[in-house]
Amino acid sequence: MADNADNLADVEPNGMIGDDDQAWEARFEALQTALGHRFCDRGLLLRALTHSSYANEHADDGVGDNQRLEFLGDAVLDFVAGAWVYRHYPEFDEGPMTRLRASLVCTGTLAQLARQVGIGAAMRLGYGEEEAGGRERDHNLCDAFEAVVGALYLDAGMKAARDFFEPLAGPVAEAILAAEADVDAKSRLQEWSQAELAITPRYRIVAEKGPDHAKVFEAEVLFGNKVVSRGEGRSKQTAEQAAAQAAWDSILP
């Protein structure tokens, strides 16, 4: 793998229409600068940037795609982000910590960070994926970001992964927390479920208890036909909000 990466001119690294290998090599070097790490095994970073469409079209290049590194990087990021949240928000209990960690490593956040540090520009895509706008797809960018973190971990250990991710986490966490302060539970749950599951939550009132002057409503929130959680409130709206908050607290890892 390292031998292939050391001879980048032989492996058509860019995968970009009308672009040359020298321009891609400049982006590759700029990315290492943005990562704050120069790889001992350049092949690891090359593989992290290689989409399956490129690997399929260039099977003889021997590098392979980034899917295994993505798997590893996902696990590393969960740990690094969780440890960072634990250290920086000592006033948070498990629920807020879990929600913030999940927001830090969700697809949209990691895709934006990939653009920010230049991962998107350095990805290797097959012709069809490039033509279809694959360089701007959040899923591809998120996968590449996770793969790069996995490559950093293999090349230089957990410290390299932390040193790269943690400076990015602060501004993102501040923006997430500021936004969530103004978003109600139903809106937040809907945004998350549509982005991550392609499902819009449904609500239904399943019970009414008590006299008219002090009635309590019970609501359920459903993903498809599955009941995710329940909540109670003095109005139907507050019961739905309580159910949404309970779902938000329970479904995230």
Quote the tokens at residue 229. Answer: 């959680």
Q: What is the three-class DSSP state of 216?
A: strand
How far is residue 163's CA from residue 96's CA, in Å, rounded to a whole number?
24
Instruction: State the greatest distance between any 2 C-alpha atoms of the chain, in Å, as a whole number.
Output: 79
How far is residue 108's CA from residue 218's CA, in Å, rounded to a whole number?
33
How far is residue 120's CA from residue 9's CA, in Å, rounded to a whole number?
20
How far is residue 22's CA from residue 148's CA, in Å, rounded to a whole number?
21
Give the residue among 207, 218, 221, 206 at the shortest CA–CA distance from 251: 221
Catalytic residue among 65, 70, 74, 218: 74
How far is residue 206's CA from residue 228's CA, in Å, rounded to a whole number?
14
CA end-to-end distance (rounded Å), the chain = 35
Told to judge if 182 belongs to the known catalytic residues of this protein, a careful annotator would answer no
Told to judge if 74 belongs to the known catalytic residues of this protein, a careful annotator would answer yes
Enclosing H/E stretch for 202:
strand 202-209
Catalytic residue among 65, 70, 129, 146: 146
The residue with tokens 């410290």 is 159
Active site residues: 74, 146
